[in-house]
Structure 1
Amino acid sequence: MPADVSIIDFEPVHQHAFRALNYEVSYEWISRYFSAEAPDNQSLDYPQRRIVDTGGHILMAEHKGEIVGTCALVKEHDGVYELAKMAVALRAQRLGIGYALGQCILGKARQLGARSVEVLLDADMQPALALYDKLGFRPAPLRTMPYYRGDTRLVLDL
């Protein structure tokens, strides 16, 4: 991780940055091929209530005093968490921030007692697939999801 990057815990004051980063980065491909769905909007509008208060966690990446990245750990059930809402601002990509966020959120998953962490995404998202592979995720059978999009499920057993 670059020396001028800090990974910090989400606070309610970060809600705007959490939403903006996800729309700027992650939803560029959604808006091109799909549209944002109700579960997206609920998590982005109410991250404290929908993610943190239900047993999950959100991290923010700060670079040179500016919030430039985020990712969330959403509690699913019985020690299973979903890594979701990962986004790094376009201007801060290729600095190792996504990898640093991934490592930190997986550390948090271990602290929370997670048995496994999964990621649901679209196979066209090659940079994301490469990142998750580097973090140790492996392909797994697709399960029922609350989204219409997404054709790939990756899992990391902890």
Structure 2
Amino acid sequence: MSYASAPVEISSIASQRDADAFYALNEEWISRLFVLEDEDRAVLGDPFGRIVASGGDVLVAKEPGDGAVVGCIALLAYPDDVFELAKMAVVPATQGRGIGRLLIAAAIDRARALGGTRLFLGTNTKLAPAIHLYEDAGFVRIPRNRLPVSDYYARADVLMELM
């Protein structure tokens, strides 16, 4: 599946180059603002095995000319047609171009195409611009007991879902 728009082209992860960019983009912001947890390393280090093989996907946003990855977002599959929206990152120099908004919309479409009936995410109050994007896309805040998992990232102090 491929999404195209004027600023970037969005498609499913397809190469080791895409996987390396997914790791690097997320490692940068997580390490800068929080602590890279073991689960982060596991998922980021093996997106094909930990995400795609389990029925999820990683979408990457690329510059149309040189194919440089400037953003990414993951969909982690859970039982009962539930997906987690995770690991969204946009290269700082390209922020403000609407890439995050496009990634979220593409991920919602992809989750539906994969049969998803519920999409949830965890974020942090330090990421106010991301929270605004999620709210604009229709996500609403939920209490921790609404999560489909019991052991969830310590840094996630804002939990949201889209039914």
Of 127, 134, 141, the match for 1:132: 134
Runs of 4+ in 1 over 4 A off after TM superposition: none
Is 1:69–1:88's contact at 8 Å kept on the other side of the alignment? yes
Question: Aligned ranges for residues 12-51 of structure 1 at < 5 Å?
Answer: 12-13=15-16, 14-30=18-34, 35-51=35-51
CA drift of 1:148 comes to: 2.1
**Kindly tell me: are residues 55 and 2 of structure 1, through their superposed partners in 2, closer, same or farther at Cα, counting changes over 3 Å?**
closer
Q: State TM-score, norm by structure 1.
A: 0.91
Q: What fraction of aligned residue pairs are identical, expressed as a percent?
A: 35
Q: State the AA in 2 paired with 1:6.
A: E
Q: State the AA in 2 paired with 1:3.
A: A
Is 2:27–2:36's contact at 8 Å kept on the other side of the alignment? no
Match of 2:10 in 1: 7
Match of 1:93 in 2: 95
CA–CA distance in 2 between the matches of 1:84 and 1:92? 19
Q: Which runs of 5+ in 2 are unaligned?
A: none
Match of 1:123 in 2: 125
Q: State the AA in 1 paired with 2:90.
A: V
CA drift of 1:142 comes to: 1.1
Q: State TM-score, norm by structure 2.
A: 0.88
Question: Aligned ranges for residues 102-113 of structure 1 at < 5 Å?
Answer: 102-113=104-115
Deviations 1:77-121 (A, max 9, x none): 201100000000001100000000110110000011111100101
Match of 1:71 in 2: 73
CA drift of 1:26 comes to: 4.0
RMSD (Å), alpha carbons: 1.4
**Size of the alignment, in residue pairs?**
153
Match of 1:147 in 2: 153
CA drift of 1:149 comes to: 1.8
Relative CO higher for 1 or 2, CA cutoff 8 Å, sep ≥ 6? Answer: 1
SS in 2 for 1:94: coil
CA–CA distance in 2 between the matches of 1:113 and 1:20? 29
CA–CA distance in 1 between the matches of 2:85 and 2:139? 11
Q: State the AA in 1 paired with 2:28.
A: E
Is 1:74–1:83's contact at 8 Å kept on the other side of the alignment? yes
